[in-house]
Chains A and B, each alone.
Chain A
Amino acid sequence: MRALDGVKIADFSWVGAGPRSTKDLADNGALVIKIESARRLDLGRRSPPFAGSPKDHDGSAFFAQSNTSKKSVTLNLSDPRGVDLARKLVEWADVVVENFGPGYMERIGLGFDELRRIKPDIILASVSVAGRSGPMAGFRGYGNSAAAHSGHAALSGWPDRPPHMPPLAYGDVVAPMFATVAILAALEYRSRTKQGQHLDISQIEPMVHVIADLFADPHATKTGNADPVIAPHGVYPCKGRDEWIAIAAETDAQWRSLCETLHLPFDPQFATVQDRVAQSDILDRTIAEVTVLRDRAALLSALAQSDVPAATVQNGRDVFEDPELRAAGHFVPVLHPVLGKSMMPAPPMTFSQTPPVVSAAPCLGADNENVLSGILGMSAAQLEELESLGVIA
């Protein structure tokens, strides 16, 4: 048994901000039917890296990792008959998920009011950059837009340099996690009240929430890697090109252990954490002068034995090969029809009674027959006709 066995999701979402949420649900047992179309291809299927040709819409590893354990049907939502089939899937579902641009679901006749007419206790989760209400409700943007509007970009980077945007859409990570929580809470609410609801998840707001501590500080500013109450707290060079180790000594005992491990004399000017925070620039230079002579793996091992919090700064290869992540089952092997045996990220948690199971992402339309016949009860002749008419496409 898995935690969400029996939960049924009609998933209209695409690219990153919606699919990462429905992946969470699918890996834990929800039956997620991804409703997509070759005529309006999920841009995730066009995103690198690819196994083979970029033109193969089943060859994107990016798509595969965000859509594990789901089913795929292809419906042409620009055709009213395609929308009719989508409405039947809504009737079947507990939850509908979408992250289209503003107004799209309403234009095709699948706005929340209409969904409620189809199924009164339906839960609709809408994920968008700025939410479905307010002056910016119509804003079209990307995951990085949320970083700009939430304060993340302004507080990223070095204090003496302009705002910084890391090369990933962090808003496309945090918002779907909030969407997952929202959907689970709404399912709980529905089990008590028999009422559905429209969940309106803005990418900006979760991004604000995860830096709420900075909003609680009237003097918050860019600090680079420094921390207001921990020092040393930084990233220090090691022997070799672009080799770094992160060290954070939370306590006086850890500071003393760090000094011993680095063969630094115990300096009274750094005796208390207040001393160390006040002089963190000097402290960081002092530490960097000795770490740069050390091999990072050997230094990490020595610091671990001394109980000093530390980690090497890992790159993509390090992460992929990390023994800790491998031991935890973070990447699990699945067999995909196009990608072959490939490693997919698993949920970052284990359940003692309802363990998740990760299976391969679906090829485009791979489940048309099973879903449309098995769930909607269509005959083979009906399927054939709608395929020939471009409705199932």
Chain B
Amino acid sequence: MSQLQGIRVLELADGLVDLGGRMLAELGTTVISLSRGAPRTSAREIAWGHGKHRASWPDDISALAPLLQDADILLEDRRRGAVIPDAMLQGHDRLIHVVASPYSAGGPRSGHAATDLTLMAQSGLMHITGDPDRPPLRFPGEQAYALTGIQVATGALMALHARHQTGRGQRVDVSALQAATLANYREAIMFEWTGRIGNRTGNRLVRGKSGVRQVWPCADGYVTWSMIDNPNMMRAVVKVLEQHDAAGELSQVDWAGILVADMPQDVIDRWETIIEGFFARHTKAQLGEWSLTLGWGLSVIHDLGEVRNSAHLAARGLFVPITTDTGTIPLPAPLFGHGAGGPVPARSFAPERPLDEFAGWGGLE
């Protein structure tokens, strides 16, 4: 994918900008990345670093000046404070300077320490994630960082578009807390309009007067499916249950004439017991096949190995072998399907090299 071939990106990474730089690299830009040295697993380094050129962090930050001279985009991660003094940026009128910080520059939390976990906590997402009898839970991976990284790429590309009109770069400030909070699209607005405060409900989705299950054990794992107000979908499920003499009272329900969300909880529970027994007797493959062909809206819950080996994702070319110094590892690479041609980015996790080897961008394109 080479939609952005020829664009030069200098990345100073500390968690918040890493995925943004990776997306820009995947889109064809040339990315030189310097890592600020936060505690990271090698898996995180490889996942966010492949496709980039990696340079060592200099003792004197002014050593970056020659690279800045010819950069189009500077991604500056200020998770633990500013890196580039303003004076270094003077005269770089075409530079797009994307600054990612945990909080807004003038707000009450400005300058406070933050990590992915604390940002997720403040976003409100953790309060509703997990079980009512346990502490709030984060999402897998580092989602506040990931959400911020995507916004970093977005801000850079919007400023690039504006530069075509004005001939000038600009500064873009991305707030990690805002990026994470934007993902919490329901809770704040629900409070604003109803005064209700959402809580952890385990795997029960509560809408209206009752709650419905979202996760079900089956013969060889788990699937996700919920009773919802979609009569066609409900009829499609019940039809298969009837073919197996397992529908019970579900055959008598007029799905177009009721609202699942308004049914008493004891009725929902009774219906779900029928469904539970049926799912438990069938495999993920069988249930998934019925869902795909009959429109059940059911999804098989895949573990990471099953995702890596998915025939569907293989057909779409999502996982690509990435070369590291210890071998190859399959990682997600293309961001989306598209019609742009051109060379694909380097499929390797490059070793870190001395900064001075990149002087003048060293013919990297």
Docked pose: A330 CA to B158 CA in angstroms:
19
- Contact at B122–A350, with CB atoms within 8 Å? no
The verdict on A335 contacting chain B, using a C-beta distance below 8 Å, is no
Complexed CA–CA distance, A154 and B302 (Å): 6
CB within 8 Å of A: which of B98-140?
103-104, 106-109, 112-131, 134-140
Known: A205-B318, A230-B39, A327-B107. A186 touches B223 (CB 8 A): no
Q: Which residues of the other chain, B, contact A266 by a CB distance below 8 angstroms?
A: none
For residue B142, CB closer than 8 A to chain A, the reply is: yes
Q: In chain A, what residue has the closest Cβ to B149?
A: A210
In the bound complex, do residue B170 and residue A352 qualify as a contact, i.e. CB atoms below 8 Å apart? yes
Asked if residues B47 and A138 are in contact (CB atoms below 8 Å), the reply is no
A-B pair count, CB < 8 Å, reads: 458
Which of the segments A77-85, A176-184, A373-381, A383-391 contacts the partner chain? A176-184
In the complex the two chains form, what is the Cα distance from A314 to B188 in whole Å? 10
| CB-based nearest B residue for A6 | B165
Interface residue from B39, B171, B192, B197 paired with A343 (Cβ < 8 Å): B192
Query: Distance (Å) between the CB of B103 and the closest chain A CB?
Result: 6
Given that A148-B299, A212-B48 are contacting pairs, would A139 and B292 also be in contact in the complex, using a CB cutoff of 8 Å? yes
**A331-B315 contact in complex given A319-B181, A324-B107, A349-B175, C-beta closer than 8 Å:** no
**Of the candidates A49, A202, A349, which one forms a contact with B189 in the assembled complex, judged by CB atoms under 8 Å apart?**
A49
Out of A158, A319, A352, name the residue touching B184 (CB < 8 Å).
A319
Assembled-state Cα–Cα distance A28/B117 (Å): 30
Residue B268 CB within 8 A of the other chain: no
- Across-interface contacts of A251 in B (CB, < 8 A): 39
Contact of B316 among A177, A199, A202, A234 (CB under 8 A): A202
| B70 lies within 8 A of chain A by Cβ | no
Contact B3 A148 (CB under 8 A): no
Instruction: Tell me, yes or no, whether A265 is within 8 Å of chain B by CB.
Output: no
Q: Which residues of B contact A342 (CB under 8 A)?
A: 192
Q: Do A185 and B332 form a contact, CB below 8 Å, given A210-B143, A246-B118? A: no
* Size range of the chain B interface in the assembly: 35 or more
Contacts of A61 in B (CB 8 A): 189, 192-193
Q: Measuring CB to CB, which residues of chain A are less than 8 angstroms from any residue of chain B? A: 1, 3-7, 16, 20, 24, 28, 48-51, 61-62, 65-66, 130-136, 138-142, 144-145, 147-158, 161-168, 170, 173-174, 177-182, 184-189, 191, 193, 195-202, 204-206, 208-217, 220, 222, 224-225, 227-230, 233-237, 242, 244-248, 250-251, 254, 273, 304, 307-320, 322-325, 327-331, 342-343, 345-346, 348-354
19 pairs across A/B with beta carbons < 8 Å? A24-B154, A148-B302, A156-B129, A164-B131, A164-B137, A168-B186, A188-B157, A198-B337, A202-B316, A205-B316, A210-B141, A212-B47, A215-B332, A216-B47, A250-B39, A304-B113, A314-B122, A323-B107, A353-B168
Q: A212-B48, A319-B187, A328-B107 are in contact. List 16 more A-B contacts (CB 8 A).
A: A16-B185, A49-B189, A140-B295, A140-B297, A145-B297, A157-B131, A174-B183, A210-B146, A217-B41, A313-B121, A315-B198, A324-B108, A330-B181, A345-B185, A346-B178, A350-B173
